[in-house]
Amino acid sequence: MTPSSMESVSHAPAHSSSSSASSSSQDSQHKIWIQAQDELKQKLIAQDDFQWRLSTTAPTSDQDEVEVLKYVGGVDISYSKQDTSMACGTLVVLDIHTLQVVYEDHSLVTLTVPYVPGFLAFREAPVLLELLEKMKASASLFYPQLLMVDGNGILHPRGFGLACHLGIVANLPTIGIGKNLHHVDGLTLTGVRQLLKAKEDCVEDFVTLIGCSGRIWGVAVRSTDGCMKPIFISVGHRISLDTAIKTVIKTCKYRVPEPIRQADIRSREYLRKHQAMISK
């Protein structure tokens, strides 16, 4: 055997071993995440479980003293176009009656967890949870009674998206707001658009997302008049789909509900200013 052939033989297993080890490490991490999701999913509550009521809901005799929903939070994370590991997590809280921002906070972070489809929560949840915990620790009067999340709830390949994860860990009622449709259980964007088109003359401008299994995953909503692109609402935690729909529609001035829209706008602006300061 010549020296050159010996070199090629000795290098091939090393390269293969490195690639195999990397793949094995990823598989191991995904199994850990799946186990964590499964454990949290057992705590999921997909019905109304809170101490407030919507102002549009007439109180029952035993609800006379129940407070009306006032403070709705929204969370979002924006990423730097120059460095996708740099991100800005933002929490805003709005007065649902005026849709004015009464609280906002930001967190600039360098993320080390990669984006993996189906496991977004393990990348973003720690950043958003820290903002919620910081607000709670300060005993803010504006701490949200309900949280809207720029991400899905049960409308997710594993039935457990970012909104579910955040809701359970923070013990908050949460709603998932998706801008794109997860193709789960036979759901397709083409099919949803056809159903929405058939409802153009109906009072209710939304369609229930029922999969091939018969499971209800959420709803697709044209949230404002003339808006052709729907948003996708799903249960996160401690709220029913019916209440989620009513709350989201109540907070929509534009396509995306205002808590999410404001979190997005302010997150991107905060990140832009921070990067401008660094570049000076």
pLDDT at 91: 98
Structurally, at CATH architecture level, domain 46-279 sits in 2-Layer Sandwich (3.30)
Q: What pLDDT does residue 64 have? A: 60
Domain extent listing, the chain? 1-42, 46-279
How sure is the predictor about 45, in pLDDT bands with cuts at 50, 70 and 90?
very high
Task: Quote the CA–CA distance of 232 and 217 in Å, as a whole number.
Answer: 10
Residue-wise pLDDT for 224-251, tens only, equals: 776 778 999 999 999 999 999 999 999 9
Task: Give the Å distances, CA to CA, from 172 to 41, 83, 143.
Answer: 15, 32, 10
Token pair recorded at residue 277: 């300061």
